[in-house]
Amino acid sequence: MQMSGAMGGLFRFSEWAMKLAYLNFLWILFTILGLGIFGVMPATVATFTIARKWLKQEEDVQIGKTFFSTYKKEFIKSNGIGFILAIIGMILYVNYQYINVIENPFLHILIVSFIFMMSIFYMILLLYIVPVYAHFELKLSQYFKYALMIGIMNIPLTILMILSIYLLYLFLMFIPGLIPLFVVSMLALVIMGISYYAFLRIEKQTSGGLIPLVIKGLRQLAASLAGKANSNNVNPSIKGESLLERGERG
């Protein structure tokens, strides 16, 4: 018997709370099983994969089975992405530490501006890399390229994502007892939800497919950084294809 009214709403709320708590527990468990450093990325990818299925309104998702199969399948590749992100973060951190050593004022301003811009790009990567990984089946290098460009091409949504994360932070700080139960699963649902909307939004706005638009965006970005665009770097094997048609995961 299907409940309706207030009781039905309370039941659905309780059901979703249990799902989120269970997903959060799986993330903690499999992160620990991966010795922390090797478990966090595959566990995060698995969490976002579940969140994506919920957003696609896939009913009766077997959370435990799907989580474990994704964790096992993406263990090596996702750790490769995590390793690259960690290296980039360490490089930025080391550069920040040596900023004050530079005595030339002009060079100091130039380097600070460059590092600040790179830090913004890095933040965009951190926000979009896992949603892109969970949504698309791509080569390793393409995840970084598309995560960066999708974030740049959807600045309002990127800002909305940052604000949503901040509001979630305030909510959890107001009720800190919820942190160990929901922090990762709620964060995944928020980030994946906005990212999924960005994927669909770009696809609808792009008559020729997402990949040509990304290539064009990369050219424009290279032109703004280097002063000119390289028009000969288009990969003919992906030209004219829609990313959602070519590489979306099941």
Domain of residue 169, residue span = 74-247
The predicted pLDDT at position 233 comes to 43
Which pLDDT score, from 0 to 100, does residue 239 have?
28
What is residue 236's predicted lDDT score, i.e. its pLDDT? Answer: 29
Residue 69 located in a structural domain = no
Q: Is residue 159 part of a domain?
A: yes
The total of structural domains in the chain comes to 1
202 exposed, middle or buried (CB, 10 Å; 0-12, 13-18, 19+)? buried
pLDDT at 9: 76
Q: In the chain, which residues have pLDDT < 70? A: 1-5, 206-247, 250
**Predicted pLDDT of residue 210:** 52
The structure's pTM equals: 0.81
User: Dihedral (C-alpha) 41, 194, 168, 15: value to the nearest 10 degrees?
Assistant: -80
pLDDT at residue 2 in the model: 54
Enumerate residues 6+ apart whose C-beta is below 8 A from 172. Answer: 178, 179, 182, 183, 186
What is the structure's pLDDT at 211? 52
Note whether 38 and 79 are within 8 A (CB).
Answer: yes
* Residue 35 included in any domain: no
Classify the C-alpha dihedral 17-18-19-20 as positive or negative: positive
Domain presence at residue 130: yes
Whether the CA torsion 189, 191, 197, 200 is positive or negative: it is: negative
